[in-house]
Each structure stands twice: as C-alpha cells, then as structure tokens.
Amino acid sequence: QVQLVESGGGLVQAGDSLKLSCAASGRIFSSYAMGWFRQALGKERDFVAACTWTKDSYYADSVKGRFTISRDNAKNTVYLQMNSLRPEDTAVYYCGFQYGNAYYRERSKYAYWGQGTQVTVSS
C-alpha cells in the first residue's frame, strides 16, 4: 500500500499563486509516476499535470504556462506550483501514484490517491 497526503490548498484571489505538495509513503520500492487531477463541484476528476520518475512533465492545455509540476524523489514528494490562478481553477486537487516511468492522463491508470486539498479562487 502507498499513502498519499496532499497539502497547500486554500482560498486565494484571482491572479495569486499557490503551491501544492503531495507526499508519498508506504511500500515504495521502484520508480513511479505521479499526477495531479482536479474535481470541481458536480464535475468529473480531470487531468492537470503529471511527472515521470525521470522528471518529464506533461500538462493539460488549460494550465499550460501557468502551472508547474516538479518532484523530489529523495522525499517521495511531488509539487504543483500554480500561478495566475483563475476562478475556474477552483476545485479539489488530488494526487495520484502509479508504478513505472510512463505518464498517464487517465485517472483509471493511477493505483493510489490522496484525500484531496481544496483550492478556491475568488474573482
């Protein structure tokens, strides 16, 4: 089992920045990819960004140029730096974990999930 704990969410104004963290613990015995997804009220959980073990990163078009995913493999932690936040970024943000070095946009590919952290952007 792998446990994921997200942190760093909050209430901000449009144009502000936030940095989310997701720390993994438990049975981590090989390379793995981590991804960020978000779920707005009444909507599905959508892909935001992903980072492979070798630190290649991928983004949804809606956040490209504003969000940056990074990771510290020594700390088993992935980060999501969110700049120029917009009201439409308001959602619960979840991190996902999957063994291997591929990256995935599909939430079904991730074996483990955190509990989520709320990000609210006011206009």
List, for residues 71-93, the tens digit of each pLDDT value.
999 999 999 999 999 999 999 99
Is pLDDT above 90 for 28?
Answer: no
Q: Are 51 and 69 in contact (CB under 8 A)?
A: yes
Q: What angle do CA 11, 16, 18 make, to 5 degrees?
A: 65
> How many Å apart are CA 72 and CA 43, to the nearest integer?
31
Q: Are 22 and 9 in contact (CB under 8 A)?
A: no
Taking residues 92-119, what's their average pLDDT?
94
Taking residues 101-116, what's their average pLDDT?
92
Query: Left if phi > 0, otherwise alpha if psi is -120 to 50, otherwise beta: which for 99?
Result: beta
> How many Å apart are CA 117 and CA 95, to the nearest integer?
9
How does strand 77-82 pair with strand 10-13? unpaired
**What is the structure's pLDDT at 30?**
82
Integer angstrom CA distances of residue 24 from 7, 61, 64, 100, 118: 12, 26, 25, 15, 19
Kindly report, residue by residue over 32-83, the tens digit of the pLDDT: 999 999 999 999 999 999 999 999 999 999 999 999 999 999 999 999 999 9
> How many Å apart are CA 50 and CA 98, to the nearest integer?
11
**What is the structure's pLDDT at 33?**
94
